[in-house]
Amino acid sequence: MASLRVFVSSTCYDLSIIRGQLRQFIENLGHEPVMSDYNDALYDPREHTHTSCIDEVAGADAVVVIIGSRFGGRSVPSALYKVDLEALAAVSKSNDLLKAKDNISITQLEVLKAVERSVPVFAFVDERVMHDHATYERNKGKPIADQIEYSSIEKPETAKYIFEFINFLRHRVTNNGITNFNKLQDIEDALKKQWSGLLQKLHFEQRAKQQEGRRIDALTEQFEDLKAAILAAVGGSKNEKEVARGVVRFRKLVDLVRAFELPDYSFLFGPAIPWGEFLKRVDVVDFTRFPAVDDERGMRRPLVRWLRADGTFYEVERMFDPADMSSEWDAFMRIDEESRAVIYDALNEMRTMPMRRFVRHIPLTPAEADERTRQRVMPEFEPAT
């Protein structure tokens, strides 16, 4: 059985005692520590040792970084080329560290490589350094900033780069947790809790996945029963296969149309009408893409704005792409009226959840809505009528 490979990243000279004790801690848990000062990294004789360390990080399962008083050695160019610094700018709101790439230490570069490869990073900062970091943040941008000497930092000229490294980590979009430590026990206690919590979460998610699988199986059986009932209902009609296929294909289209909560849907199974006629019925005149937003569960929802003639708009889930829905509408309208009615009735019976979660009317102009969003004030969503 393969062991969890834990790469320990830090300066070695000032943290050698903590590194040695942390190595024993990791081994006692049954994991494999990867530490450059113990020759755990493969030093390819054709490469600089910095480059070899970056390669080792890419194969790790987790990275523990300890930030103390020393900056360490600056990364050599061959190691810098191993990390996509431009791509990393998108993962943190604080990127001053990346702008001064000639002042990125090998320890920092190891962690940046882990971030690039989505390797979990567990960050620990000496309490004294974190205290001085707060002073740095208060004076950042002031004329006096470069004159301050911080007692926790060994070389004053490296303070900025250590503090900006902390900023990069704590302002990441994900995995931005940082733990202060005063002694090794603080690091060990935090890692025990974190790794134990991750294992517990893994078990929970596995159970939830199994339950979801059983729900999907049950829904599949219900769907097959419904399809059989539809085929039986149309009897020997030559269109029975078309109806069965239509129930599968046009579910999304019918969900979209129902989400507008119109008073009458008989037009769906009357004489064929074009997609533009449907848009007139819901007062839509244009479309525009809109960046993803967080829903009530904190999940990112990509949206399309369906602009109304009155200046307001609908927020519509991106899965209902207007171009795709237009094509589906045309295909639906090519089916005979009787089959369309059967398909709509079947899908209408299947859906029990509120449709307004797919389409929501915002009684504001797009400009007003954007301003409200900036002010974090939005009106209640209205039904899409």
CA distance 212 to 2: 29
DSSP 312: -
Is residue 281 within 8 A of residue 271, CB to CB? The reply is: no
Q: Is the pLDDT of residue 299 over 50?
A: no
Q: Is the pLDDT of residue 177 over 80?
A: yes
* Domain 5-182, CATH number (from 1.10.287, 3.90.550, 2.40.10, 3.40.50): 3.40.50
Q: Which residue has the tokens 């103390």?
A: 68
Q: Locate the domains of the chain by residue range.
A: 5-182, 236-374
β-strand partners of 63: 7, 121
Mean pLDDT, residues 226-230: 60
pLDDT in tens, 75-93: 999 999 899 998 999 999 9
pTM of the prediction?
0.57
Sign (positive or negative) of CA dihedral 246, 251, 256, 258: positive
Mean pLDDT, residues 195-200: 88
pLDDT in tens, 97-125: 998 888 999 999 999 999 999 999 999 99
Query: How open is the CA angle 98-103-104, to the nearest 5 degrees?
Result: 60
β-strand partners of 6: 33, 62
In sequence order, which residues have a C-beta less than 8 Å from that of residue 380 and are 6 or more positions away? none
pLDDT band at residue 383 under the 50/70/90 scheme: low
